[in-house]
Amino acid sequence: MRNFAVNSLLHGNCLRTTNHKEAALQELEEYSSPFRPDVKLEDFSKEALLRLLKATARQYLAIDGIWNSVTREELGEEKARAMEMEVWRRATSSEIRRTMSALNIQGDDVATVLKAIQCAPGTAGIMDFSCELKDEKQGTLTVKRCSSLEFFERHHDTDGIQFACRTLETEVGYPETAAAVNPRIKAIPLKRPPRQSKDEICCQWLFKIED
């Protein structure tokens, strides 16, 4: 009888240990459960991490908007925009290098630029877009939805569209993206806002390596 009780107790402990291990190995879809002191990003499912990436990317963009608002209030429009250009000039190349390093993206051709764009938080996290490699020397990026442009359109901010979508992206954003991979690759705008209808694409860019 005593041996039966001991075996039952041991069996119960084993079951609880197994159940605990299985729970620990199960991927988290969200975090509405009680606090766990040992939770890490690695514990979440692919879908949960994707939602977190998109939320982080939106915050990444929101910080820029807040920063720009503060500098405009403190320094005026002209100085704030000059600083905005310089900030993105420095940040874009860093974002591309970090993305390439994290995913072991290697190379210095147009395909490498498109691969970096496909995965960078500033594009992959907030835009709906497609990339096409036409040949080894040129490829296109077509942006179908862009949260920044949609924000400006909702607020009828034509000045914001002119600065962000034409000046900033044409002089800094995509040229710096290409240059971070290879200074010989040029970013050429094929279509830029403003657009006549929301059914139109937001913008389209050609990346071309110069001989």
Tens-digit pLDDT profile for residues 39-48: 999 999 999 9
Per-residue DSSP letter, 165: I
Tens-digit pLDDT profile for residues 119-143: 998 898 889 999 999 998 999 999 9
Mean per-residue pLDDT over the chain, rounded:
89
Least Cα distance to 192 among 200, 180, 202 occurs for 202
Q: Is the pTM of this model over 0.85?
A: no
Distance (Å, whole) CA 140 – CA 104:
22
Distance (Å, whole) CA 117 – CA 189:
15
| Number of residues written out for the chain | 211
Tens-digit pLDDT profile for residues 54-87: 999 889 888 988 998 999 999 999 999 999 999 9
CB 105 within 8 A of CB 112: yes
Distance (Å, whole) CA 108 – CA 62:
31
Tens-digit pLDDT profile for residues 178-196: 999 999 999 999 999 999 9
Of the candidate ranges 6-15, 126-135, 139-148, 201-210, the one whose mean pLDDT is the lowest = 6-15
**Residue range 24-46: average pLDDT?**
91
